[in-house]
Amino acid sequence: FLFKLLLIGDSGVGKSCLLLRFADDKWTDSYISTIGVDFKLKYMDMAGKRLKLTVWDTAGQERFRTLTSAYYRGAQGIVYVYDITRRDTFEALAEVWSKEVEMYSTVDECVKIVIGNKVDKAKGGREEGWVTREEGETFARESGSLFLECSAKTKVSVREAFEELVKGVMETPSLMEETANKDSVKLGGFRAQKGPCC
């Protein structure tokens, strides 16, 4: 089973760090803003099935928007990421990112999860203006998404977030049909993005 997952959200929210934590269990403090699109492969065993996940990590910077929009195609799982300490990144999910999904996603029943990242910073409480867990949950519910607060830095809930997302895909029959069409997904995903499923 080959799954295509996609990370989206404003620049600096921690998409690449979440992927690095999930795929390689690594962490880095340094910030190297993603240029265009990157991806990692990760194998996961779930419900007795061997799953191959291709996780696409898009650049949050606006100048790459035209390029990154092509990668929504065929994604069965979408991860919306915001930074709990930056309200603008949370508001952008409704104002920018969910609109991008509406426009470019080709998979009607794709599963979505909202991640409030950098929850490690809220250890001593949240400063005024930071996004509360309730606000995150409300947006997730309204947009038909799952929700978790995570920390790529301290590992909190990162694996769980991807597992929940994958579980959601596996529980959606139309999405499982799509993953079974392996060869075309592979060619579409890795080559010219022209395959019927990517």
Q: Which residues bind ligand GTP (CB under 6 A)?
A: 11-17, 29, 31, 33-34, 59-61, 117-118, 120-121, 151-153
Among positions 34, 98, 145, 151, the unique one binding Mg ion when judged by CB under 5 A: 34
Please report how close the Cβ of residue 139 comes to ligand GTP at its closest, in angstroms. Answer: 18
Please report how close the Cβ of residue 157 comes to ligand GTP at its closest, in angstroms. Answer: 10
In the bound state with Mg ion, the residue whose beta carbon lies nearer, of 34 and 76, is 34
DSSP the chain: -EEEEEEE-STTSSHHHHHHHHHH-----S-----SEEEEEEEEEETTEEEEEEEEEE--SGGGHHHHHGGGTT-SEEEEEEETT-HHHHHHIIIIIHHHHHHH---TT-EEEEEEE-GGGGTT-PPTTSPPHHHHHHHHHHTT-EEEE--TTT-TTHHHHHHHHHHHHHT-HHHHHHHH-HHHHHHHHHTTS-STT-
58 binds Mg ion (CB under 5 A): no
In the bound state with ligand GTP, the residue whose beta carbon lies nearer, of 88 and 171, is 88
Please report how close the Cβ of residue 116 comes to Mg ion at its closest, in angstroms. Answer: 17
Q: Which of 92, 171, 84 is nearest to 126 (CA)?
A: 84
Rg (CA), the chain: 16
Please report how close the Cβ of residue 30 comes to ligand GTP at its closest, in angstroms. Answer: 6
Among positions 5, 7, 16, 90, the unique one binding Mg ion when judged by CB under 5 A: 16
Which one of the spans 28-36, 89-97, 124-132, 189-197 is the region binding Mg ion (CB under 5 A)?
A: 28-36
Which one of the spans 1-9, 13-21, 114-122, 186-194 is the region binding Mg ion (CB under 5 A)?
A: 13-21
Which residues of this protein are in contact with Mg ion, per CB under 5 A? 15-16, 34
